[in-house]
Amino acid sequence: MPLSPGQQLEYIAYLVKNCQKCPLYKSATNPVPGTGNPQAKIMFIGEAPGFYEDQQGLPFVGNSGKLLDKLLDTIQVSRSEVFIGNILKHRPPQNRDPLPEEIKVCTPYLKAQLKIIKPKVVITLGRFALDYFFPNESISRLHGQIKEIVWQDLPLTIIPVYHPSAGLRNGAMLKALQNDFLTIGRFLKN
């Protein structure tokens, strides 16, 4: 009998927990494979786990996660309905930017998650996650736009938005985030 999407995601999480393909596992407290609904219509992708995520092994549990939950509330979507992950599955030391070789070894995990979940829309959170799918593009130019792409043979609909941490630091970015979530809500209703 084939594995259910939930079982397939659990297997990816098992692989992430045992991954030693780059040195990040040595300094991380916990792997953060991602979590959420295996049948999610929305998949959020951030850059990498931060301090609180590393402590708990779950994505977006700090202040950025609290803001993400509030933004989800504005479009009547609960966290239990979505899947949240990151490009990197272990925290880089001192929250430094991911290195190209770290991204390369983590990409198969993210690609497998995308293939299993088959989300209606992928929301990239922040500049780094945008650059992962749209190299050399600007978040200030693309945020809130609905983009159709083929990435590694996967057709994806992507709506880039600012990272919630940017919204916590900058009122203009918070307003842009709120507006972009209204775009996400409209997209889901259509």
Q: Which domains does the chain have, with CATH numbers?
A: 5-189 (3.40.470.10)
Instruction: Give the DSSP H/E element, type plus range, for residue 15.
Output: helix 5-17
User: Helices marked H in 78-170 — which ranges?
Assistant: 100-117, 127-133, 139-142, 164-169
**pLDDT tens-digit map of 50-108:** 999 999 999 999 999 999 999 999 999 999 999 999 999 999 999 899 999 999 999 99
pLDDT on residue 80:
97
**pLDDT tens-digit map of 117-134:** 999 999 999 999 999 999
pLDDT band at 151 (very low <50, low <70, confident <90, very high): very high
**pLDDT tens-digit map of 7-27:** 999 999 999 999 999 999 999
Place of tokens 């040195």: 23
Instruction: Give the DSSP H/E element, type plus range, for residue 92.
Output: none
Residue 1, pLDDT above cutoff 90: no
Residue 73 CA to residue 57 CA, distance in Å, equals 23
How large is the average pLDDT for residues 170-182?
97
Instruction: Give the DSSP H/E element, type plus range, for residue 179.
Output: helix 171-189
Q: Is the pTM of this model over 0.85?
A: yes
